[in-house]
């Protein structure tokens, strides 16, 4: 079986300030409806669009068969 993977960078601001369980759950369910399965959630410092610093966030990895 062959798989494809998708990694989504989730910054705190994308979740409306603090990361809430409800908003993360919504993201996971949205991808599940598209056939993606959660493989991993990793905490990371994600580079912001402006300036040298990063922001706290998550890397959410999904998998689905092709």
Residue 22's pLDDT is 83
Residue 42's pLDDT is 92
Number of domains the chain is built from: 1
Residue 53's pLDDT is 58
pTM of structure: 0.76
- pLDDT tens-place values along the chain, 66 residues long: 999 999 998 876 654 556 678 888 999 999 999 999 999 999 887 666 555 556 678 899 999 999
Q: Which domain holds residue 34?
A: 3-65
The DSSP secondary structure of 18-54, one letter per residue, reads S--HHHHHHHHHHHHHTT-EEEEEEEEEEE-SSSS-E
d(CA 44, CA 34): 25
């Amino acid at each position: 079986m062959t798989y494809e993977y998708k990694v989504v960078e989730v910054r705190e601001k994308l979740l409306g300030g603090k990361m809430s369980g409800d908003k993360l759950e919504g993201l996971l369910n949205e991808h599940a409806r598209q056939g993606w399965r959660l493989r991993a959630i990793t905490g990371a410092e994600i580079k912001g669009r402006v300036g040298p610093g990063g922001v706290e966030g998550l890397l959410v990895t999904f998998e689905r068969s092709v």
